[in-house]
Amino acid sequence: MTAHELQPATSVQAISARVDRLLPDIAAGAANRERERQLPYEAIRQLAEAGVYTLRIPTRYGGPGGRVRDVIALLLRIAAADSNVAQALRPGFAFLEGLLAARHDQAEAERALWFPRYLAGAVLGNAGWELGGANGAIAARLVDHGDHYRAQGSKFYSTGALFADWISAVALDENDQPVSFVLPRDRPGLELLDDFDAMGQRLTASGTTRLNEVRVERDEIRPRTVEEGTRTIVTPFLQLFLGTVLAGIARNAQVDAERFAREHARPIKHSSASRSVDDPYVEWAVGDIAARAFAAEAVVLHAADSIDASWTAELGAESVEQAALGVAQAQYLAAELALRAAETLFDVGGASTTGRSHNLDRHWRNARTVANHNPRHWKAAAVGAWRLKGTPLPTSGLF
């Protein structure tokens, strides 16, 4: 099926069913892909063509008009199959949530442009962050050439860019103001590298994007939508996205723990059981992992409800703050739960659990990498300050 043959999705249930049919194959190849560094191009394309990005597109634009909870519930299942695939979807969802939340003069024109592209199966990647300088600093430049611009610079953490049809980037104009723009993947001078070298989430295509005097048309410049120091509902959504990936990792660790205990593990010599599945400590380990996965899923779904409540309240400042508070708490717990679940996985067997052929360590490495996006102790401290003194949560883009 090609993107051009797709029909607009008519319901959340139909999209979910299509995605769910893809997940067994995605899950079956996840461990080997990660071990062999095989980027999941096909998985991303299949999910896009199944309509995964379109869940939140309103019905008046041909989408199903789903809730944030619908996205998070489906993302949980994707992350439980392959957390790399789930995280690689984040920029595309971020862009779409920004379109939904936009209230500027060009918002409707942008929605009319981009919603049909999403409905046709388009994939969007990110090229925003840079290395060096202060956190969040931008060095890439955008120079006016009359009828067009030229962009020059280097970006890192370009999540999902290698899988994408469109690349969203940001650079400073001649007045040192940040300017966002979106380029087609095949634009001359746009160079995408697979050089992401983190210990986990290795297949998210989060490497370098180089802007080598790339031509940027005037109609590819996006309006500035968020003022510095202002919180929008998009930020809690993006943080919850990371928490949901962590919850999916916990569930994936549970699946692998059960499989290993049934198919590979042998009872320790002094165990009271003749089979590993009868060993009370193996039973405890699997039960502990299952409880942590259950809890992680519960907190991210609860936080999704708080974001939906803010939309119901028409994104009032207080409701957005409450959503950010709920997400911060959920994200803190999801990280704690996923990391412990991934570690406990090794208690279902002996030294054989560390075999590279099983690749069970990927769950801890992946969870640790996702958790390091935003140090979780800052999340807890910010929540504590809010509860003790009413101190507003930071508007750094991480809450």
pLDDT tens digits, residue range 203-253? 999 999 999 999 999 999 998 766 667 899 999 999 999 999 999 999 999
pLDDT on residue 3: 44
- 209 lies in the same domain as 355: no
Question: 49 and 153: one domain?
Answer: no
Query: Collapsing DSSP states into helix, strand and coil, what is residue 56?
Result: coil
Residues 266 and 368 in one domain: yes
In CATH, what number is assigned to the domain containing residue 19?
1.10.540.10
Nearest residue to 51 (alpha-carbon basis) of 114, 119, 124, 3: 119
Task: With respect to residue 212, please indicate whether it lies within any of the assigned structural domains.
Answer: yes
159-190: pLDDT as tens digits? 999 999 999 999 999 999 999 999 999 999 99
Whether residue 87 sits in one domain with residue 147 = no
Together in a domain, 214 and 349: no
Asked, for residue 133, whether it belongs to a domain, the answer is no
Return d(Cα 313, Cα 325) in angstroms, integer: 16
Domain end (from 197, 222, 247): 222
In a domain, 364, yes or no: yes
Domain finish residue from 122, 152, 182: 122
Asked whether residue 38 is domain-assigned, the answer is yes
Residue 14 neighbours by CB distance under 10 Å: 13
CA distance 323 to 330: 11
Q: 166-172 and 124-127 as β-strands: parallel, antiparallel, unpaired?
A: parallel
Q: CA–CA separation, 20 vs 286, rounded Å?
A: 25
Question: Higher model confidence: residue 396 or residue 362?
Answer: 362
* Full domain range(s) for residue 196: 141-222
- pLDDT exceeding 70 applies to what percent of the chain? 95
Q: Decide: helix, strand or coil at residue 88.
A: helix
Whether 184 and 323 share a structural domain? no
297 φ/ψ angles, rounded to the nearest 5 degrees: -65, -40
272 in a structural domain: yes
C-alpha distances out from residue 391 to 93, 328, 383, 387, Å: 30, 14, 9, 8
In a domain, 380, yes or no: yes
Is pLDDT above 80 for 271?
no
Say how far apart CA 76 and CA 69 lie, in whole Å.
10
The pLDDT of residue 137 is above 90: no
Note the Cα 161 to chain centre separation in Å: 13
Q: Answer with the residue of higher pLDDT: 325 or 229.
A: 325
CA 23 → CA 19, 253, 362, distances in Å? 7, 16, 18
Q: Is the pLDDT of residue 4 over 50?
A: no
Angle ∠(105,109,111) on CA atoms, nearest 5: 110
pLDDT digits (tens, 9 = 90+) for 93-123: 999 999 999 999 999 999 999 999 999 999 9
pLDDT single digits (tens) 58-93: 999 999 999 999 999 999 999 999 999 999 999 999
Cα separation, 83 vs 139, in Å, equals: 31
Verify that 312 and 187 share a domain, yes or no.
no
Instruction: Tell me the C-alpha distance between 335 and 330, whole Å.
Output: 9
Whole-angstrom distance, CA of residue 311 vs CA of residue 288: 35
User: Is residue 207 within 8 Å of 195, Cβ to Cβ?
Assistant: yes
Q: What percent of the chain has pLDDT over 90?
A: 83
Alpha-carbon distance 173 to 83, whole Å? 36
Are 250 and 370 part of one and the same domain?
A: yes
Same domain as 238, residue 170: no
Q: Please say if the pLDDT value at position 23 is more than 80.
A: yes
Tell me, what CATH number does 384's domain have? 1.20.140.10
Q: Which amino acid is at 314?
A: E
Statement: residue 192 has pLDDT above 50? yes
State which of 195, 222, 249 marks the end of a domain: 222
Residues 300 and 338 in one domain: yes
CATH number at residue 187: 2.40.110.10
Please report the pLDDT score of residue 266 as a whole number: 76
Identify residue 347 by its one-letter amino acid code.
D
Q: Phi, psi at residue 166, to the nearest 5°?
A: -135, 145
- Reduced to 3 states (helix: H, G, I; strand: E, B; else coil), residue 180 is strand
Residue 227 lies in a domain: no
Return the pLDDT at 131.
78
- Same domain for 75 and 200, yes or no, is no
Residue 5 has pLDDT above 80, yes or no: no
Q: Quick check: is 11 in a domain?
A: yes
Same domain assignment for residues 238 and 216: no
Contact 36, 89 (CB under 8 A): no
Tokens 């809450």 correspond to 399
Number of domains comprising the chain: 3
User: Residues 68, 308: contact at Cβ < 8 Å?
Assistant: yes
| Distance (Å, whole) CA 361 – CA 363 | 5
pLDDT digits (tens, 9 = 90+) for 272-296: 776 888 789 999 999 999 999 999 9
